[in-house]
């Protein structure tokens, strides 16, 4: 069986973003994507209170737990696979969270430069 390895923005195998809380479009801990992922959950971010409030104001409540989806709600410091467009919106609003480059999908480079992501790297 041929298993394609998903790469991160550094060209290395994608490292999981978070298992607690369990993140990713596929809820496998990784920022993987496919054609069904309309939001393109590519950015492994370390969320902040400012970002969570920004997302809430934009209609995406990432704070309130939703038991039926086994979603615990996020708090500042949690790592979460964000939609690339939401991260870019947060960037424009000066509240973009830091990014874990090793866990950010290489497909993010289709919309944002590596140098910009490096400016927001949590490893800096």
Q: Return per-residue pLDDT of the chain as tens, 124 residues.
A: 446 789 999 999 999 999 999 999 999 999 999 999 999 999 999 999 999 999 999 999 999 999 887 889 999 999 999 999 999 999 999 999 999 999 999 999 999 999 999 999 998 5
Residue 49 lies inside a defined structural domain of this protein: yes
CATH number at residue 48: 3.30.56.110
* Model confidence, pTM: 0.93
The boundaries of the domain holding residue 101 are 41-119
Nearest alpha-carbon partner for 102 in 111, 114, 92, 89: 114
Residue 26 within a domain: no
Residue 64: exposure state from Cβ atoms within 10 A (0-12, 13-18, ≥19): exposed
For residue 81, list its beta bridge partners: 44
Sequence-distant (6+) residues with CB within 8 A of 7 are 13, 14, 105, 106
Is 15 among the domain residues? no
**Number of domains the chain is built from:** 1
Is 9 inside a domain boundary? no
Q: Are 95 and 86 in contact (CB under 8 A)?
A: no
């Amino acid at each position: 069986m041929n298993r394609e390895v998903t790469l991160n923005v550094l060209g290395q195998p994608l490292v999981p973003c978070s298992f607690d809380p369990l993140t990713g479009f596929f809820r496998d801990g990784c920022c993987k994507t496919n054609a069904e992922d309309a939001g393109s959950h590519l950015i492994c971010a370390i969320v902040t209170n400012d970002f969570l409030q920004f997302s809430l104001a934009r209609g995406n409540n990432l704070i309130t737990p939703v038991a039926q989806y086994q979603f615990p709600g996020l708090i500042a410091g949690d790592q979460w696979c964000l939609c690339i467009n939401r991260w870019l919106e947060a960037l424009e609003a000066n509240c973009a969270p830091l990014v874990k480059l090793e866990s950010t999908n290489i497909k993010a480079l289709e919309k944002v430069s590596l140098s910009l992501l490096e400016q927001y790297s949590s490893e800096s």
